[in-house]
Amino acid sequence: MHFTIHLTTGCSMRCDYCYSPPLKRIDMTEEICRDTAAFILASKPGNTGIVFYGGEPLLRKDLILMMTGLLREAERAGGHSFHFRVTTNGLALDEDFMSFADSSGIAVALSVDGAKQAHDRHRKTVDGEGTFKTVDEKIDMLLRWQPYAQAMTVVTPETLPYYCDSVSFLFERGFRYVIVALDYSRSWEERHLELLREQYGLLADLYRRLTADERKFYFSPFDIKIASHIHGVGVMCERCHGGEKQVSVAPDGSLYPCVSFVRDCGKDSEFRIGDIWNGFDEEKRRRLYSRSQSLKATCRECALRDRCNNRCSCVNWQSAGQVDSVSPVLCETERILMPIADSLAESLFSRKAPMFIQKHYNPAFPVISLLEDMQSLR
Amino acid sequence: MKIEPVCQYSEPGYPDAGEFCRKSGMESFIPERWKREAFAMGTMLALMFGGCTAAFAETQIPANPGLLAEKSGNEIPTQSNAVTAPIFEHGYGFVRSGGEAASHPKFLSENEARQIIEEEFKKAGVIFDRHDMKLNGAAGDYSGAGKVSLQELELTNYKGPVELDGYSTKNRFAYEFVTPADSKQFLQNSSQMISTAPPVAYTKPAAQILNALLARSAKVNVITFYDPLAMKDCQGDLAVSRTELKAQIRDAIAWAKAKGWIK
């Protein structure tokens, strides 16, 4: 079970693609933070992921300290196991926080869109200034503490021309785990699809070269699709299961199935599935989950349906307006990505690239990868 | 732009995990970089074989004096040239969670697993008459002595003894069942830092690390089992886990007979 804790709706940036724009800052109170910890502990899940989220979660470092302390204390008492992560825009990242994250076992993921042209296109300060320079200056510090830190990147139609350059930039800067989401909510046109195809081709060349050189490089669009063939239904288990295996806790203590829905705050929101004091509205929770996981009528005949991202309720809600509808742009982009990823995998497998084979066929690879990452800290 | 179902899609020209495991061994695909990183080759090798090999050959590494039985209490009689059995691989022994989502594994309880193991061995004439045997040392005693040191890898502060679940005085071998809780001893606080799909339980890799440690000590004949962590329809499936554990035991008994551990 994963709990995403929205510590505040406030943010130090004003990214124009934000799905939860900080119109009004609402912070979680210390009391709600304590009650959230109590709710999580009462849920008694065997193994629990805690993601600190916002707005910008580092605006409330005090609450991160509080929640981590409470849950780690419970863990020491026995019966619980937690792993923590925070996703930050980087502006408030400093040595003190990294030291705390290190000692508390909090993985830090940085939202960064890559090359300057791409990053500054959307990720701006309140005053409208690009944040690339400031964020770029934080990368060395982050990777010094956590060489395995993830770069979380959003690609829009406007930043498509820099897609490969941005990923390449992030790799050169030291990131080995690049997680990319396409912003489906924006206005995509046919020309963007051609550009996307072209960029995926360039990215496949980059991935092929790095993997053949035995460099560690996780690039989520390709790696997820390749894994969806290699591991089949097992990968489906790892996909979004909003409300069932993941829950977002809003600053006011309301529960939602996923991060995107928190913006729809309100007691009467159709996506509010309970609160931390009264628990889940089980019927509503089940109904939403069932809707999001149902196979869409438009997808039933599709040969790619089980490898497609068509069951992500957030994406569907943002792009098609319904959790159980698929948008044309999702369909188009998935149809572009799949054959490129498969062709890439075929070429690496046929040349017996050891890093490719270990990464995708050895279930212990993440542990080996961890050993290397930890070793690099020495 | 439109929604357009793909009517036909060629089967990708690379195998799925099952096909790969049937046809290939992971040992043929060791990256050069790993070979150069001698710092952890022992552990690396143990883990690399975690892929698909049916059972990697039993390991017999020169004894390290660090892994000694306790002087008092529930000690195991040490044996010269003791052998650590290979891991008998049935069950993935590894469950990941996604970036935001999580699979729901179900864990066999240690008590139930012990019961299954001991009942199956009993049918083969083996009685485990001693339990919870401790072997001191483990990670802490390996620094500089070999290449398996978990402490060197800063993976964990684990310094406690290795504890084995059962020992047969008559047949002179022990067994250990690795639970998800055991695995955390070896890879403490680290599971979230790997990828977008971090492992939430990883009994097989942990069993392989333990096996490497036990092999290095070479103080007692031992067989290591692990929780198969079977999944079905994205949920843990205890029935399948029990079947897979029994398959591990079946192979182990056949192996032990071949080695003369069971007459």
| Local structure of B229: helix, strand or coil | coil
Beta-bridged to residue A13, according to DSSP, are A125
A223-237: buried (b, 16+ CB within 10 Å) or exposed (e) per residue?
bbbbbbbbbeebbbb
d(CA A231, CA B16): 6
How much is the pLDDT for B1? Answer: 84
B230 confidence band (pLDDT: 50, 70, 90): confident
Q: What is the pTM of this model?
A: 0.74
Q: Which of residues 62-121 of B touch A (CB under 8 A)?
A: 92-94, 96-104, 107
Mean pLDDT value of segment B198-210: 69
DSSP A316-340: HHHHHSSTT---HHHHHHHHHHHHH
Q: Would you call A197 an interface residue with chain B, using a CB distance cutoff of 8 Å?
A: no
The 10s digit of each residue's pLDDT in B237-247 is: 889 999 999 99
For chain B, how long is the longest CA-to-CA vector?
Answer: 75
Kindly state the DSSP code that residue A296 receives in the 8-state scheme. Answer: P
Do residues B252 and B115 make contact, with C-beta atoms less than 8 angstroms apart?
Answer: no
Contact residues, chain A, for B236 at CB < 8 Å? none
Indicate the average pLDDT of chain B: 69
DSSP A23-71: SS--BPPHHHHHHHHHHHHHH--SSEEEEEESS-GGGGHHHHHHHHHHH
Q: Is the CB of B5 less than 8 angstroms away from the CB of A241?
A: no
d(CA A26, CA A22): 9
More confident residue, B196 or B11: B11
How much is the pLDDT for A267? Answer: 61
Q: Would you call B231 an interface residue with chain A, using a CB distance cutoff of 8 Å?
A: yes
Beta-bridged to residue A83, according to DSSP, are A49
| Pairing mode, strands B222-226 and A2-6 | unpaired
Q: How many helices (DSSP H) and strands (DSSP E) are in chain B?
A: 7, 8
DSSP A64-121: HHHHHHHHHHHHHHSS--EEEEEEE-STT--HHHHHHHHHHTEEEEEE--SSHHHHHH
How much is the pLDDT for A238? Answer: 53
The 10s digit of each residue's pLDDT in A137-182 is: 999 999 999 888 999 999 999 999 999 999 999 999 999 999 999 9
How much is the pLDDT for B99? Answer: 38
B66 confidence band (pLDDT: 50, 70, 90): very low
How many Cβ pairs closer than 8 A exist between chain A and B?
230
> Which tokens in the block code for residue A303?
């040969």
Do residues A356 and A127 make contact, with C-beta atoms less than 8 angstroms apart?
Answer: no
* Min distance B24 CA to chain A CA atoms (Å): 10
Q: Would you call A187 an interface residue with chain B, using a CB distance cutoff of 8 Å?
A: no
How much is the pLDDT for A192? Answer: 96
> Which tokens in the block code for residue A203?
């990215």
More confident residue, B257 or A262: B257
More confident residue, A16 or B154: A16
Closest CA to B193 of A152, A54, A374, A80: A374
B161 confidence band (pLDDT: 50, 70, 90): low
Q: Residue A374: enclosing H or E segment and its boundaries? A: helix A365-376
How much is the pLDDT for B189? Answer: 39
Q: Would you call B147 an interface residue with chain A, using a CB distance cutoff of 8 Å?
A: no
Kindly state the DSSP code that residue B69 receives in the 8-state scheme. Answer: B
| Pairing mode, strands B130-135 and B162-168 | antiparallel
Which of A214, A238, A258 lies closest to B96 in CB terms? A238
Contact residues, chain B, for A239 at CB < 8 Å? 98, 101
Looking at chain A, which residue has its C-alpha nearest residue B6?
A302
Q: Is the CB of A214 less than 8 angstroms away from the CB of B99?
A: no
ω into B18 cis (within 30 of 0): no
Mean pLDDT value of segment B207-228: 80
* Min distance B220 CA to chain A CA atoms (Å): 26
Q: Is the CB of B1 less than 8 angstroms away from the CB of A364?
A: no
Q: How many helices (DSSP H) and strands (DSSP E) are in chain A?
A: 14, 11
* Min distance B42 CA to chain A CA atoms (Å): 12
Q: Which of A367, A372, A376 to mutate to test the interface with B (most CBs of B within 10 A)?
A: A367
Contact residues, chain B, for A146 at CB < 8 Å? 193
Place of tokens 């939430």: B200
The 10s digit of each residue's pLDDT in B3-16 is: 888 888 889 999 98
Contact residues, chain B, for A375 at CB < 8 Å? 37, 39-40, 153-154
d(CA A181, CA A221): 8
d(CA B182, CA B229): 14
State yes or no: pLDDT of B147 exceeds 90.
no
Q: Which residues of chain A have pLDDT under 50?
A: none
Burial class (CB in 10 A: 0-12, 13-18, 19+), A49: buried
Q: Would you call B38 an interface residue with chain A, using a CB distance cutoff of 8 Å?
A: no
| Pairing mode, strands A177-182 and A150-155 | parallel
The 10s digit of each residue's pLDDT in A305-350 is: 888 888 777 777 777 777 778 889 999 999 999 999 999 999 999 9
What residues contact residue B170 under an 8 Å CB cut-off, 6+ apart? B126, B127, B129
How far, CA to CA in Å, does A143 sit from each of A179, A180, B190, B199, B204?
16, 18, 16, 22, 30
Give residue B91's region: left, alpha or beta (phi > 0; psi -120 to 50).
left
State yes or no: pLDDT of B153 exceeds 90.
no
State yes or no: pLDDT of B197 exceeds 70.
no
How much is the pLDDT for A264? Answer: 56
